[in-house]
A and B are shown apart, each in its own frame.
Chain A
Amino acid sequence: MTFLGIPTASSTGHLRAPRTFPEAAHDALGNAQLRRNLGDATATIRAKRAGVVAELPDWEQLRAAGAAIKDETLAHLDEYLIQLEEQVTERGGVVHWARDADEANRTVVELVRAAGADEVVKVKSMATQEIALNEALADAGITALETDLAELIVQLGHDAPSHILVPAIHRNRSEIREIFLREMAGVDPALTDDPRALAEAARTYLRRKFLSAQVAISGANFAVAEAGTLCVFESEGNGRMCLTLPRTLITVMGIEKLVPTWRDLEVFLQTLPRSSTGERMNPYTSMWTGATEGQQFHLVLLDNGRTATLADPHGRSALRCIRCSACLNVCPVYERTGGHAYGSVYPGPIGAVLSPQLTGVEHNPTLPFASSLCGACFDACPVAIDIPSMLIHLRAQVVDAKREAHHTPTPEAAIMAAAAWTMNRPRWWARGLRAARLSRFVRRRRALPPPLSAWTASRDLPDPPRETLRDWWQREGGVQ
C-alpha cells in the first residue's frame, strides 16, 4: 500500500517516518513559501493563545487538574473502558476492539459494507489518520470524503496533513484557491482567494454530500465513561452534520481518550479550545450517547501501541495528550520544518515522542532528536506533559537499541565514552583543554570533518583563549 508514493507500514498505519528527520527537514527548510506560511500561521495562533490563556487566573491549576484527571484515568484504564463499553452497549451502540491499524480498518470496512455504502463522510479525526483508514477504504472501493475544511483541502490537494489541528497550515489561500479550481467538481471558475468565498465554495460542495451519505465516520475528543457519551469539539459545524444526518455512525477512538465523569470534562472544555485555536470556547461541541432511533452506532476502540506506551513508566504521560497542538505552534523546530518532516501523522514535539512510543524507537530513531530541548512545548501543554524529559528518555532508548544492534560502538558512542572518561580525570581533562588551544590554527577553516562540519557550515568556531581558566587559576587565580 502506498500513500503519496510513500510506502506505509501496514500494522501501525501512518506512524513511521519513511525518511530521517534531518533529510526531510532539509527539503522543508529550502521551501521559502512553506517557511513563510508556517511562520505567519504559527505566530498568529501563538499570540491568540497567549492572550486567552493569560485571561485565566487559574490556568496553572487547570493544567494540573487536566494532568491529574488523565493520570487517574490511565491508572485505571481497564475499568473505565469496560464501564464505557457497558454504557454504550446499554444505549444501543456496538463496541469493537482493535489491536492495531489493520484490525481497526478491517472492522470499519466491514461495517461500511454491511451498511451497503460505497461512500462515507468523515469528521476530522486523528485516529483515522493514524491508521490510514482512508487508504484502506479506497482499497475496498469505498470513497471517503473529509468534511473538515482544512482536511478537505489536504485531501483534494493529494497532500498529507502537516498539523494536528490545521492540517493545511502549510498552504496559503492562493494555493487553496488553485486546489479548489483544479479538483472541486462544479466550482465557480471565477472563485477568488477571499477566505469567505473559499469557505462558501467548500460549503456548497459538501452540502450535497451530507445529504446523500449513508455512513459517517468520526473520531472523538473525549468519551465520558460513566455515561457512555462520545464528544467531538469542532469549529465549523460540518462534523455535526455528519454526526446527525447519516443512518450509520462509526467512531474510531484511541483507548486513552476517556475521562471518568462529566465533571472531569469541565476542565478540558476550558483548556482545549484555548490551547488549540486560542478561543475561549469552541464553537461546536457535539455529544452523543449510544444510538438514536433509526440509526446505528459503532464504536471502534483502538490500541495500536497504546498499551505498550502505558506500560512504560517514562512514556505513559504521552497518553495524557488531548491533541490540542499548542506544542506544535510554540515549537521553533516545527515552525521551520512543518509537519511533513516528522513523517508521521503526529508532528511537532508531541509527535517526536508519541510516534516512537507507539511504534517502538527502532522505527522512528531520529524523531527524539528533532528538538533543541528549549522547553517551550512543556510550558504550553495544557496537560503538562514534560516532553523534553521524555525526548531525553527516548534518546537513551535509541542509543541502547544501537548498542545492541552493533557489536562495535558507533563513532558517536566512542566519542561520548572517551569524553566521559576524560571528564572524570581532571588531569587528563586539563591536558585536553590545553590541547584545544591548537584549534586556534583551524579556527577560520570553514570545513571541519563530520560531525563538526554541521557546525562550520554556518558558524565560526570560537577563538580559544591563550590559557585555560584552570591554568590561569593555578598561575595567579588564588591571589586576591
Chain B
Amino acid sequence: MRIAVFATCLVDGLFADVGKATIALLRRLGHDVDLPLEQTCCGQMHVNTGYPREALPLVRRYVDTFARYDAVVAPSGSCTGAIRHQHAELAGAAGDATLAEAAREVASRTFELSEFLVDRLGVTDVGAYFPHRVTYHPTCHSLRLLRVGDRPYRLLRAVRGIELVELPSADACCGFGGTFALKNGEVSTAMLADKMRCILDTGAGVCAAGDASCLMHIGGGLSRLQAGVRTVHLAEILASTESSAA
C-alpha cells in the first residue's frame, strides 16, 4: 500500500513534530510512507471565511498531489473533514464535474489518523508507551464531521503507562473555529476559558487531541495561564515508545 501523509499547512509550518510522529508511527507499523512536497493546504480556511473561489486551486492541487496513492493519512480531523465534505462540492459549484469526481475519489481514500489505524489497518494497540496522566479533547470536526467516535480512545487505552482521565464536557467546542478566533476573539476566549477549566479540573498534565489547530488554541491559552499543562497531538503519543518516550 502506497501511503502518503497529508501534513496540513499548520503541521508543516508550526508543528513539524506532529508530522514526524505520524510518519514514524506508520513506518513502525511496517508501511512505506511518502510526504509529497507539492502538498500545501486543504483550503478550509478560505472556504470557512467566505472565499470559496480562492480555495478551488487548492482542491485541484490536493487531487493532483495525492491521486496516485492508495491512501492518504492526515493528522487532522478538521482538514480530513474539509477534504471529504467540501472539496467535491467546491468543484461542482464551480462547474467542474471532472474535478468533482476526482476529488470525491481521492477523498474516499483520505483518512484521519485514528480512522486509518483502526479501520484500514485494523490495529488499536500500536505498541506505544506514554507514562503520563492524559485527558483527551475529541475536537468538533473529528466528532461531528467525521464521526470518529471512540477510535482515539481505543487507541489511547492500549498505550502502556498512560493514565487516561475523562474530560468533563468533552464534546464542547474549544472556541478555535479558524478565523472565528480572530473575528470573534472575545467569544472565542470565553469558550476557551471554560475548556481550560475542564482540563485543569482533571488534574492531567497532558491534554491531547487529534487536531493541531485546536491544540494550538488550547495550548496558547494554557501557556498564557502558565498552567503547567502541555498539549500533545494523538500522533505524538502513539509514536512514543519506551526508547523515545516524549
Hey, which bits of chain A sit against chain B, CB under 8 A? 21-22, 25-26, 29, 35, 332-333, 336-337, 368-376, 378-379, 392, 395-400, 412-413, 416-417, 419-420, 423-424, 426, 429-430, 432-433, 436, 451-452, 454-455, 457-462, 464-465, 467-470, 472-474, 477, 480
Q: Output the nearest chain B residue to A416 by Cβ-Cβ distance.
A: B51
CB pairs A–B below 8 angstroms (18 shown): A22-B187, A29-B186, A333-B184, A333-B191, A372-B140, A372-B180, A375-B140, A396-B50, A399-B50, A413-B51, A420-B43, A424-B57, A451-B183, A462-B220, A468-B13, A469-B20, A472-B16, A477-B20
Contacts of A419 in B (CB 8 A): 45-46, 54
Is the pair A455, B185 in contact by a Cβ cutoff of 8 Å? yes
Is the pair B177, A416 in contact by a Cβ cutoff of 8 Å? no
Is the pair B177, A374 in contact by a Cβ cutoff of 8 Å? yes
Is the pair B185, A469 in contact by a Cβ cutoff of 8 Å? no
Contact of B17 among A35, A399, A465 (CB under 8 A): A465
Mark interface residues in B8-51 (1 if CB within 8 Å of A CB, else 0).
01011111110110010001000000010111110101111111
9 further contact pairs, Cβ within 8 A, besides A25-B186, A333-B187, A420-B55: A21-B184, A25-B187, A336-B191, A373-B177, A374-B140, A375-B145, A423-B40, A457-B189, A467-B16
Q: Report the minimum CB–CB distance from A228 to chain B (whole Å).
A: 40
Whether A459 touches B220, Cβ cut-off 8 Å, given contacts A416-B54, A419-B45, is yes
Contacts of A379 in B (CB 8 A): 144
Is the pair A337, B144 in contact by a Cβ cutoff of 8 Å? no
Q: Report the minimum CB–CB distance from B62 to chain A (whole Å).
A: 10
**Is B223 interfacial (CB 8 A cutoff)?**
yes
Whether A462 touches B182, Cβ cut-off 8 Å, given contacts A336-B190, A420-B54, is no
Is the pair A332, B172 in contact by a Cβ cutoff of 8 Å? yes
List the 4 shortest-distance A-B pairs measured between CB atoms, nearest first.
A372-B177, A454-B185, A459-B220, A395-B50
Is the pair B61, A424 in contact by a Cβ cutoff of 8 Å? yes
Contacts of B35 in A (CB 8 A): 469-470, 473, 477
Is the pair B220, A416 in contact by a Cβ cutoff of 8 Å? no
Q: Report the minimum CB–CB distance from A447 to chain B (whole Å).
A: 13
Is the pair A469, B220 in contact by a Cβ cutoff of 8 Å? no
Q: Report the minimum CB–CB distance from A369 to chain B (whole Å).
A: 5
Is the pair A461, B46 in contact by a Cβ cutoff of 8 Å? no
Whole-angstrom distance between the alpha carbons of A332 and B177 in the complex?
12
Is the pair A459, B224 in contact by a Cβ cutoff of 8 Å? yes
Judged by DSSP, the binding face of A is helix
**Is B205 interfacial (CB 8 A cutoff)?**
no
CB-CB contacts below 8 Å: B123-178 with A: 140-141, 143-145, 171-173, 175-178
Whole-angstrom distance between the alpha carbons of A436 and B15 in the complex?
12
Contact of B15 among A397, A424, A462, A472 (CB under 8 A): A462
Q: Output the nearest chain B residue to A331 by Cβ-Cβ distance.
A: B173
Whole-angstrom distance between the alpha carbons of A477 and B27 in the complex?
11
**Is B52 interfacial (CB 8 A cutoff)?**
yes
Whether A452 touches B40, Cβ cut-off 8 Å, given contacts A29-B190, A332-B173, A376-B144, is no
**Is B216 interfacial (CB 8 A cutoff)?**
yes
Whole-angstrom distance between the alpha carbons of A452 and B220 in the complex?
13
Q: Which of B11, B172, B177, B185 has the most CB of A within 10 A?
A: B185
Contact of A29 among B172, B177, B187 (CB under 8 A): B187
Contacts of A452 in B (CB 8 A): 182
Whether A460 touches B224, Cβ cut-off 8 Å, given contacts A376-B144, A465-B16, is yes
Whole-angstrom distance between the alpha carbons of A403 and B43 in the complex?
20
Q: Report the minimum CB–CB distance from B146 to chain A (whole Å).
A: 10
Q: Output the nearest chain A residue to B226 by Cβ-Cβ distance.
A: A460
**Is B92 interfacial (CB 8 A cutoff)?**
no
Is the pair B11, A426 in contact by a Cβ cutoff of 8 Å? no
Is the pair B14, A374 in contact by a Cβ cutoff of 8 Å? no
Whole-angstrom distance between the alpha carbons of A455 and B176 in the complex?
10
Is the pair A378, B51 in contact by a Cβ cutoff of 8 Å? no
Contact of A429 among B40, B140, B220 (CB under 8 A): B40
Contact of B144 among A375, A433, A465 (CB under 8 A): A375
**Is B241 interfacial (CB 8 A cutoff)?**
no
Is the pair A460, B14 in contact by a Cβ cutoff of 8 Å? no
Contacts of B20 in A (CB 8 A): 469, 472, 477
Is the pair A26, B180 in contact by a Cβ cutoff of 8 Å? no
Whole-angstrom distance between the alpha carbons of A296 and B82 in the complex?
55
Is the pair A465, B186 in contact by a Cβ cutoff of 8 Å? no
Is the pair B14, A465 in contact by a Cβ cutoff of 8 Å? yes
Contacts of B176 in A (CB 8 A): 372
Is the pair B173, A372 in contact by a Cβ cutoff of 8 Å? yes
Whole-angstrom distance between the alpha carbons of A480 and B216 in the complex?
29
Q: Report the minimum CB–CB distance from B222 to chain A (whole Å).
A: 9
Whole-angstrom distance between the alpha carbons of A472 and B57 in the complex?
26
Q: Report the minimum CB–CB distance from B79 to chain A (whole Å).
A: 13
Is the pair A370, B184 in contact by a Cβ cutoff of 8 Å? yes
Contacts of B57 in A (CB 8 A): 420, 424
Whether A369 touches B183, Cβ cut-off 8 Å, given contacts A419-B45, A423-B41, A469-B7, is yes
**Is B58 interfacial (CB 8 A cutoff)?**
yes
Mark interface residues in B100-124 (1 if CB within 8 Å of A CB, else 0).
0000000000000000000000000
Is the pair B49, A462 in contact by a Cβ cutoff of 8 Å? no
Whole-angstrom distance between the alpha carbons of A462 and B17 in the complex?
13
Contacts of A370 in B (CB 8 A): 184, 187
Whole-angstrom distance between the alpha carbons of A467 and B14 in the complex?
9
Whole-angstrom distance between the alpha carbons of A372 and B184 in the complex?
9
Q: Output the nearest chain B residue to A375 by Cβ-Cβ distance.
A: B144
Whole-angstrom distance between the alpha carbons of A451 and B183 in the complex?
8
Is the pair B184, A462 in contact by a Cβ cutoff of 8 Å? no
Whole-angstrom distance between the alpha carbons of A455 and B171 in the complex?
23
**Is B181 interfacial (CB 8 A cutoff)?**
yes
Is the pair B192, A459 in contact by a Cβ cutoff of 8 Å? yes
Whether A378 touches B144, Cβ cut-off 8 Å, given contacts A396-B50, A416-B46, is yes
Q: Report the minimum CB–CB distance from B95 to chain A (whole Å).
A: 15
Contact of B184 among A25, A35, A397, A413 (CB under 8 A): A25
Contacts of A465 in B (CB 8 A): 14-17
Contacts of A392 in B (CB 8 A): 47-48, 50
Contacts of B177 in A (CB 8 A): 371-374
